[in-house]
Structure 1
């Protein structure tokens, strides 16, 4: 074959390779089979790396079948994931309950939206020394989250446990000023939610959010001496996947929702959290 013909053959082969690449042809790492379609990366913000997020690590693998590559961004606080989503640094986040998102939107003048329910993650009372509500004595100190929605939820939990009474008109966002009766004369300290697990060594007991508890190797169903009870009033505390309003119907994001809301994920959540997180869809 002449050099000229060899050059033509090489050029045609190269063009063919480029066409295949442009079409997004890939090889499935599990089966070795070629799959067509471009891979779309989706950045999802979560809080903590504990068992309460085990399902997302499972979805990282599952969604590759849909040519979706999850990039999980782990945060340690509750404020940043929403601002990151709003600014476009994230595509979705999955860490907050409905009331928290509602309060964020009201305060920030934003319009982030829920695209799916995920789990109900009950708050709990934790202590290094107390094993039941009955052991709480007069004047004990308790740390609660300092953000409005989780702080109010913590006060409602203390009322549920029979430790305080709250003005009914305060609704879902009571503050310390709405306490009408402090039955045990508790010293209630407000701190950042992420710091509550560490506060166990400084306070008699603490109110800890589920994700911060599991990230600190606490198992809510085993280590909390009192867990939030599920009733008709807990719907605002169902955790969600949030997106920017213009992306509410995004087909790729809806595929993620479909892959999340499955029996397989239910099993993963139940096993990883030992029943501490309850699927809510």
Structure 2
């Protein structure tokens, strides 16, 4: 009987020890979670996956959340007001335009991390030369994209744009030998507008996201030059000036400039997105001599 009591007492002690150890581990795990710095990044839906990838890489140190918005102005406002710590949306021309319009103090952190070229596409023609006189050609109607897309039409030899125009529009076209109708449309309506147009400019990312049937119905007539792409369109991290030296900004930027990120990006987006941050940081590409390949998958 005494042996049985001693056995039960020992068993109870063991249960108490294990329970205390489990509680200690739970408290330690909860404390570790609480100690992680919470970071919120404003994005469009198309960019959420990229921030989620970075969040996974930095999950030991930060709790990074992608806050999804339906349009760019709200993303910029959230960063300017401090409700988000940063955003991943801006290229330098758009950021400059936004700061001037809204009097904000947002900065472009370090350098671009991704890039994506713009195409001229058509459902009706198979080359630039085939585009007829008085054809209807569409570009985006927002400052973030319009100047870049007009520049592509100029690169293709279709028009000439006034170099003095800060945010050029169709009104700044100085030469138009085919008398094209340059139509400015909402960037969100690009795909739906295709049947009513002779040609239009379209980011590779948008083209990549179209359904296969629509893609096959289109021909890519021209692609933005590497130089224009790297000079104008780099997408990067945007935050308030006061956050410029924050450790999380450096950590997020560094994660997006790794070889692992570059490989993942190219595979995930079939080459429609270019890991320009990695290329620039590794020396594989420079602003003076940009050169990268976009796979011909279409």
- Whether TM-score is above 0.5 comes out as yes
Q: Does 1:264 align with 2:260?
A: yes
Q: Which residue of 2 aligns with 1:201?
A: 195
Structure 2 vs 1, CA of residues 78 and 202 (structure 1 numbering), >3 Å: closer, same or farther?
A: farther
For residue 120 of structure 1, give the secondary structure of its aligned residue in structure 2.
coil
CA contact (8 A) 1:54 1:269 kept: no
Q: Does 1:58 align with 2:20?
A: no
Distance 1:46 1:136 in 2: 36
CA contact (8 A) 1:164 1:183 kept: yes
Aligned with 2:97 (options 87, 94, 103): 103
**Pairing 1:187-226 to 2, within 5 Å after superposition:** 187-217=181-211, 224-226=220-222
Distance 2:194 2:52 in 1: 29
Distance 1:251 1:161 in 2: 43
CA contact (8 A) 1:194 1:212 kept: no
Aligned with 1:48 (options 45, 48, 58): 45
Aligned with 1:255 (options 251, 254, 258): 251
**Pairing 1:1-281 to 2, within 5 Å after superposition:** 13=20, 20=28, 23-24=31-32, 38-49=35-46, 54-64=49-59, 66-116=60-110, 117-170=112-165, 173-217=167-211, 224-231=220-227, 234-281=230-277
For residue 28 of structure 2, give the secondary structure of its aligned residue in structure 1.
helix
Structure 2 vs 1, CA of residues 60 and 201 (structure 1 numbering), >3 Å: closer, same or farther?
A: farther
Which deviates further from its counterpart, 70-79 or 184-193?
Answer: 70-79
Instruction: String of CA shifts for 1:199-247, please: whole Å, max 9, x gaps.
Output: 212222221234433343588xx96331111227842322111111111
Distance 1:217 1:103 in 2: 33
Structure 2 vs 1, CA of residues 201 and 96 (structure 1 numbering), >3 Å: closer, same or farther?
A: farther
For residue 227 of structure 2, give the secondary structure of its aligned residue in structure 1.
coil
Instruction: String of CA shifts for 1:153-210, please: whole Å, max 9, x gaps.
Output: 111111111110122322x532222211112211111122222222212222221234
Alpha-carbon distance, 1:54 to partner: 4.6
CA contact (8 A) 2:113 2:253 kept: no
CA contact (8 A) 1:153 1:173 kept: no
Unaligned runs of 5+ residues in structure 1 are 27-36
For residue 158 of structure 1, give the secondary structure of its aligned residue in structure 2.
helix
Q: CA RMSD in A?
A: 3.0
Distance 2:75 2:219 in 1: 28
Q: Report which of the two has the higher share of helix.
A: 2
CA contact (8 A) 1:142 1:187 kept: yes
For residue 206 of structure 1, give the secondary structure of its aligned residue in structure 2.
strand
* Paired positions, count: 258
